[in-house]
Amino acid sequence: MLPITSRLGLPVCLSAVTSLLSFGAIAEEGDWNRWRGPNHNGIAATNKLSAEFPLAAPKQLWKAQIGTGFSSVAVSDGKVYAMGNTANKDTVTALNVADGKVVWSHSYDAPIDPNLYEGGPNSTPTVDGDKVYTMGRRGQVFCFDKATGKVIWSDNLAQKTGAQIPDWGLSGSPLVEGNVVIYNIGSAGTGVDKATGKILWRSGPGKAGYGSPVPFTMNGQRAVALFAAKALVALNPTTGQQFWSFPWETSYDVNAADPIVMGDSFFISSGYNRGCALITVKGNQPQKVWENKNMRTQFNPAVLIGGMLVGIDGNTSERATLKAIDPRTGQVRWVNQPVGNGGVIVVKDQLVVLGGNGQLLAGPVSGTGFQPKTRAQVLGGKTWTAPAFAHGKFYARNAKGDLVCMDMGAQ
């Protein structure tokens, strides 16, 4: 156990995650250019916040309507990129960070597909260089010029590959690795040329999982961890070759919360009382270190903060509770209040929580609990979508498409 403990020490974990920026386009400091932020880990990359962060009473700067859905936002070069559905059309919208006004938008036919919830797009736009990549719940993929909204290329990858659509629609956000855009479409992903949209590799027609691809380095080689419907798989991003697979079956095949990479270890967690596990990989052989039901993240992943994994544990908005566990052992460190099925991120070593009913909580964590300095009702209705943070501003949306931008202490 001691070697495992050593690998999971916080400085090692953060160093390993930070190294993800070394491959592909690097976001401008402070941008939140994709799902889970610049390092794919829910941690904002910024040192330019005021000493007062987080503010006790954050101010709403603007509010916009982006359409029904559960897609989060990307923020890059002064624009916010969002998705939503109105009248069975998905719309990708670029808004000004300063005032929330629309810079450009593009709509396409897309059934809203409600299934025990409101429906609409689940995937978050990804900004890479001067392009924006998006995916609709039925496999509609687009590459836009991020400044003008011009369509560079588009396709329907589910139709082209013959892949099944999961019960709640395709949900993983695009990942750009080098010259390849990777989508969680098919049995274990699909890779296309980011300049042309040409399919470079495909994995089979099976149903996808609901999580997003996560990059990491294994034995000096770039790889991608991807939640398939019934397993966590590691892939070569260039060829789609599968390095290894770890079985993980969940009710209704809902593997939605992205794996968290910690050196050569991976934390995985799913809802419907499936629970969580830590696996470590030796060569190409994944081995389970521990498994229990202490964390059951239904939609959004936990975050690594203060040497703990902090996430929202539970399956329903009534019971979903903020909780911290020790990544080395899986044991519970503390349990906080019920917050509903929202999402968590980390900003300037502070935990930022968006609860399932639109309440914002922010403050420091310790080994014994969470002490919010901020308690603010920023939205109404269902807020299952994880928030975003860029340049001192907090972004949150609800299911019906209200998007708010809050000042949380920018310099």
Going by C-beta distance under 8 Å and a sequence separation of 6 or more, which residues neighbour residue 379? 358, 396, 397, 398, 402, 404
Q: pLDDT tens across 259-317, in order?
A: 999 999 999 999 999 999 999 998 889 999 999 999 999 999 999 999 999 999 987 65
CA distance 195 to 179: 7
Residues 60-82, mean pLDDT to the nearest whole number: 98
Mean pLDDT for the stretch of residues 12-18:
34
**Domain 2-407: CATH architecture, name and number where available:** 7 Propeller (2.130)
Predicted local distance difference test score (pLDDT) of residue 219: 84
Q: What is the pLDDT of residue 2?
A: 27
Cα separation, 52 vs 392, in Å, equals 11
Spatial CA neighbour of 69 closest among 135, 118, 113: 118
pLDDT at position 52, please? 80
pLDDT tens-place string over residues 73-119: 999 999 999 999 999 999 999 999 999 999 999 999 999 999 999 99
What is the rounded CA–CA span in Å between residue 288 and residue 247? 11
Q: Could you read off the pLDDT of 177-205 as tens digits, one per residue?
A: 999 999 999 999 999 999 999 999 999 99
- Output the pLDDT for position 14: 33
Mean of the per-residue pLDDT values of the chain:
91
Identify the pLDDT of residue 210. Answer: 98
* pTM for this prediction: 0.93
- Summarised one tens digit per residue, pLDDT across range 211-242 is 999 999 988 899 999 999 999 999 999 999 99
C-alpha span between 233 and 159 (Å, rounded)? 23
Beta strands 89-96; 102-109: pairing state: antiparallel
Give the contacts of 12 (CB within 8 A, at least 6 positions apart): 6, 262, 263
On the question of pLDDT at 28 being above 90, the answer is no
pLDDT band at residue 4 under the 50/70/90 scheme: very low
DSSP letter for 68, please: B
